[in-house]
Structure 1
């Protein structure tokens, strides 16, 4: 049997690409999605459909109770989702305190229970300015911790840590991936808003690749 790995799979385009990269590399992925009370919970439906179509083992874990401790984000609280370019300072309102440390800790525990050797997640360079828990120094320190936190070390793998959203999409298009199977918008409405920072960054990546986004947008 091929090497087992855990993939933190949100249902967005980054983790969608990471999941397929793990498959392409011959791994046996165990996809792990989290309901942390995000308003764009719709992404979990996308994740479930993709995993079902691929025959990938998939768990969705409800950890929404953490919002009694780590609220104050536009993704989880009654705060308006900011619009405009992804790198604008207003995007800091979308930070969920300590989110990736929490998710990586749970994913590492899952990996140990599966006797898996690695946990994959889709941090990339476009996140560095906004999300501290997507920065190289965070990944490096988490890797150190996950190497000693259990009897069996687990490696944190971030294939696109130093790559842009455009580069991730380029790689995915080369693999022939259908990004109509992903959800990026921070609003969980019927169609993607096209205005929030996540939508804007996604649309820019498609423009940079001279490709058309298969999702339907409100604008």
Structure 2
């Protein structure tokens, strides 16, 4: 029997690449996405499409009822999405309190129920500056807890933890991935804004690889 893997799949560039990295291991892949009240819930539609195209079992879990416990972020509250680069201090408003610990805990529970050996997610070095729950020390500590929290240990795997967004894109392009099937923008409008930190970083990554971003911008 093939190994089972759960992938935390947002529908963005990083998790899209992680999903395909997991597929290439030969394991049975199960994707899980979360509606936590994010303004850019369009990413969930993109995730559903990709999983449908690749016949990957996909759960979309609605945890938006806990939005009031994760308030204060411009991604979930009535606060304007900041524009600019992630290195700017105003980008701290996009931090959702304790988000990855909450989402990983539920993904680990799903993995235990499936008898899966690992949960994959897309933390990377570009996020370390702004997001505490994408830093290596968080990942390593959470992994240690995951291994002792249940009778069967589950590993947290972050294939691109020490890679930049550009390097992740390069890995995906080498796999022949089509990034038109991803959504990155923090604004959930029809087209990407091109100005939020997430868009700026994405556009930088494509520029570094000498490629044209296939999605439409305002």
Q: Secondary structure at the match of 1:31?
A: strand
Query: What is the aligned partner in structure 1 of residue 58 from structure 2?
Result: 58
**Residue 28 (structure 1) shift:** 1.1
Residue 14 of structure 1 pairs with residue 14 of structure 2: yes
Query: What is the aligned partner in structure 1 of residue 176 from structure 2?
Result: 176
Q: Which whole-Å deviations, capped at 9, do the CAs of 1:61-113 have from their partners, x for residues lacking one?
A: 00011112110100000000000112211110000000000000000000000
1:85-100 to structure 2, matched below 5 A, reads: 85-100=85-100
Alignment gaps of 5+ in structure 1: none
- The TM-score normalised by the length of structure 2 is 0.99
**Residue 25 (structure 1) shift:** 1.3
**Residue 135 (structure 1) shift:** 0.3
Q: Secondary structure at the match of 1:188?
A: coil
Counterpart-to-counterpart distance in 2, 1:73 and 1:10? 18
Residue 41 of structure 1 pairs with residue 41 of structure 2: yes
Query: What is the aligned partner in structure 2 of residue 127 from structure 1?
Result: 127
Counterpart-to-counterpart distance in 1, 2:69 and 2:172? 36
**Residue 191 (structure 1) shift:** 0.1
Counterpart-to-counterpart distance in 2, 1:205 and 1:169? 7
Counterpart-to-counterpart distance in 2, 1:200 and 1:78? 22
**Residue 2 (structure 1) shift:** 1.4
Alignment gaps of 5+ in structure 2: none
1:1-219 to structure 2, matched below 5 A, reads: 1-218=1-218
Q: Which whole-Å deviations, capped at 9, do the CAs of 1:23-67 have from their partners, x for residues lacking one?
A: 111111100000000000000000000000000000000001111
Q: Secondary structure at the match of 1:44?
A: helix
- Number of equivalences: 218
Counterpart-to-counterpart distance in 1, 2:99 and 2:193? 24
Q: Secondary structure at the match of 1:176?
A: coil
Q: Secondary structure at the match of 1:69?
A: helix
Q: Secondary structure at the match of 1:61?
A: strand
**Residue 185 (structure 1) shift:** 0.1
Greater displacement, 1-10 / 114-123 = 1-10
Counterpart-to-counterpart distance in 1, 2:108 and 2:156? 8
**Residue 118 (structure 1) shift:** 0.1
